[in-house]
Amino acid sequence: MARPKSYNRQDAITRACMAFWEHGYTALGVRALEAQTGLNKFAIRTEFGGKEGLYLAALNHYHTAAKDTVLAPLKTGDIAAIAQFFQGLVTAGSINSSAWGCLMVNTGIENAEIKRAALQQASDAYWTDLQDHFCMALTNARTKGEIAPTRDIDNAARGLVSAVMGIHTANRVGKSHDAGRHLVALVLDLLKTWEVADAD
């Protein structure tokens, strides 16, 4: 008869997400993960297939949480929704603002060295999803006449994704949730030119 689990799986994943977000993948050993997640080495191996499997579960949790919260308004939103998203990147109390930066940005930077295909696939999926959401908001804005019909939406969305990466990186390097506020201000000014100058 199997022993009952002494942990809640989702709670452990949430704790792992926070631990990896703060410390990264390679810096966290199994003992540190045990202490911060409530999982033991056996559970990490059997439940998640090891440390990488737990990390992938944390990345999926992070992605799903973003889709359900900060990305959702972009589906039906427009320029204002994009502006609100960027403001949230440097707003105290926002789930999208952290002195740790962004788990997906951190993963991409670290994975450039450790080169794990599964981690790359997970982070790529997140950025593709964010780009798609920006495209939806920009398409809505174009339909409403907020931006010119000639605006290259795909290119604009890719640029906004790059800006998001830069803002999160600035926050982590600056060890402050709003260290990237100058970049946010720049993006907000750019969005105004799209909305006003191009639509006239």
* For the chain, domain boundaries: 8-62, 69-197
Does residue 198 surpass a pLDDT of 50?
A: no
Integer Cα distance of 51 and 65 in angstroms = 21
Least confident of 18-27, 31-40, 72-81, 190-199: 190-199
Q: What is the pLDDT of residues 90-102, one digit of tens each?
A: 999 999 999 999 9
For 176, the 3-state DSSP assignment is coil
Q: How large is the average pLDDT for residues 136-150?
A: 97
Does residue 81 surpass a pLDDT of 90?
A: yes
Q: Helices 153-174 & 103-114, crossing angle to 10 degrees? A: 90
DSSP annotation of 21 reads H
- How far CA 55 is from CA of 14, 17, 69, 116, in Å, comes to 11, 7, 21, 11
Domain 8-62 has CATH 3.10.20.30: no
Q: How large is the average pLDDT for residues 11-40?
A: 94
Does residue 1 surpass a pLDDT of 50?
A: no
- How far CA 18 is from CA of 58, 61, 142, 152, in Å, comes to 8, 10, 38, 37
Helix/strand/coil percent split, the chain, to 5: 70, 0, 30
Integer Cα distance of 80 and 89 in angstroms = 15
Global pTM reads: 0.93
**Burial bucket for residue 119 (CB in 10 Å: 0-12, 13-18, 19+):** buried
CATH class name, domain 69-197: mainly alpha
The torsion angles phi and psi of 10, rounded to 5 degrees, stand at -65, -40
